[in-house]
Amino acid sequence: MKSGNLALLERLEALTVSLVDIVWGTPLVVLLVGGGFFFMLYSRFIPFRHFGHGLAILSGKFDDPDDPGQINHFQALSSALASTVGMGNIGGVAIAIHTGGPGALFWMWVSAIVGMATKFFTCTLSIMYRGKDDKGEVQGGPMYVIEEGLGKAYKPLAILFSVAGLVGCMVLFQANQLSQLVRDLIYVPNGLFSDNILLGNFTTGMTAAVIVSLVIFGGIKRIGLVASRLVPFMVAIYLYAALIILFQNLGQVPAIVSSVLKDAFTGDAVLGGSLGAIIVIGIKRAAFSNEAGIGTEAMAHGAAKTKEPVREGLVAMVGPFIDTIVVCTITAFVILVSGVHASDANGVTLTAMAFETELGNAGQMMIILAVLCFSLSTMFGYSYYGRKCTSYLFGTKWKSSYNVIYVATIVLAAMVSIDIAINIVDIMFALMAIPTMISALLLSPKVMVETKRYFSSR
């Protein structure tokens, strides 16, 4: 007979699955992907044509310390990437392939390409329509875009975004996957906590919570400073190991590309699903990975020191390219060339198996280091988003209280199942995407006016 706690968890898991199916239906997919295609066509691909200018902005060429804002362009992108280049790239991609097969990667690509256009619009707006908190400090994000750009009549959308952000920006998935990796690769092989694995998960969660606390209580400036150093390092280490594997298996790459394209349009690899299911899986995991259209990215870029909204829009669109087109693709290819995707493993454990299969103990050590960096950096960035939502809803005096709750959820998430963690995040991301995309679509003409002004003056 099942214990009461186990039965409760199973009911909670079933409930979250049902809610995910409801919120991630066709309307939301059309809003995210269709909206992204609209932004691409409406902008006449201007952001894509000036991708190189976005890289020049990142170099610091246009930085002005006297501009309004809190962090420079590079720190803003690093803060955003600290949240996006994370467990979505390691565990999220593995879940997509495990659930939807290789074809899910194709729809992640599609979502990322249109997401570049979406990020240009949402993050340009985050500078155009910055608001102020109750202390008079300049703030950016979808809630301020909605209130400042659309007016008080649309404030319910701003409240919806902020409420969903309070929960969605708690790092349930990241803490869960970090705990899973430490358990599977460190505790179990060495016989640690063999009689009480829950205690082991609790220990991992507490350790992560302490490290995160040392950074996030310093605010966005400390987060931006740490992220600008940690993100390039972690991406370099991870890509170095992954590229070694791909070069060792270069002959398999064409066959993998073929399988991705074939499965993307047949849906044969979906576990009992259909083509529609594989599209949704790919888009969900891409949204979790690069956050285009979700609104979290706009909160980070809204803190940039600049008077030129278009500059930050161009910087922001670099994010999905790095995050999904580069990092997620390489992760997926490593999993597929290793052949471990046919196993029963899921999430970060599947990715770790791929690295260990190809590189042995060295691969395992690299993935442990990468996961530590990826998960912790994401925890740094998400805390800032949650604090902004808290500040908007309840005032700045409650931001420190949110941090305490945020840190506590790291410990809790380390002990729940992966399905509950990812389902809760998926639900909240869907609710955040609705106001973000609606406001961006309604204000898109304003973005184009600003874009034409900016490029005509260069």
Nearest to 250 by CA among 347, 341, 358, 350: 358
Cβ neighbours, 10 Å, residue 27: 11
Q: Residue 1 — pLDDT band, cuts 50, 70, 90?
A: very low
pTM, full prediction: 0.81
Cβ neighbours, 10 Å, residue 415: 17
- Residue 39 clears pLDDT 90, i.e. is over it: yes
- Residue 292 clears pLDDT 90, i.e. is over it: no
> What fold is seen in the domain 17-58+68-452?
Amino acid/polyamine transporter I (1.20.1740)
Q: Residue 188 — pLDDT band, cuts 50, 70, 90?
A: confident
Q: What confidence score (pLDDT) does residue 318 get?
A: 83
Q: What confidence score (pLDDT) does residue 78 get?
A: 61
Kindly report the average pLDDT of the chain as a whole number.
81
- 309-320 pLDDT, tens digit per residue, is 998 888 888 878
Identify the three-state secondary structure at position 71: strand
Which of 1-5, 175-179, 319-323, 342-346 is predicted least confidently? 1-5
* Contact in structure between 292 and 39 (CB atoms under 8 Å): no
Domain spans in the chain, listed from the N-terminal domain onward? 17-58+68-452
Q: What confidence score (pLDDT) does residue 268 get?
A: 53
Write phi, then psi, for 415 (nearest 5 degrees): -115, -5
- Give the mean model confidence (pLDDT) for residues 73-79: 63
Q: What confidence score (pLDDT) does residue 221 get?
A: 65
Question: Dihedral angle at the C-alpha atoms of 306, 308, 314, 319, nearest 10 degrees?
Answer: 30
- Residue 224 clears pLDDT 80, i.e. is over it: no
* Contact in structure between 415 and 206 (CB atoms under 8 Å): no
Q: What confidence score (pLDDT) does residue 80 get?
A: 59
Q: Residue 74 — pLDDT band, cuts 50, 70, 90?
A: low
- State how far Cα 282 lies from the chain centre: 14
- Residue 271 clears pLDDT 50, i.e. is over it: no
Q: Residues with Cβ < 8 Å from 178, sequence gap 6 or more?
A: 87, 204, 208, 348, 371, 372, 375, 376, 414
* Contact in structure between 294 and 83 (CB atoms under 8 Å): no
Write phi, then psi, for 346 (nearest 5 degrees): -145, 160
Q: Residue 163 — pLDDT band, cuts 50, 70, 90?
A: very high
In the chain, the percentage of residues whose pLDDT exceeds 90 is: 19
- Give the mean model confidence (pLDDT) for residues 193-210: 84
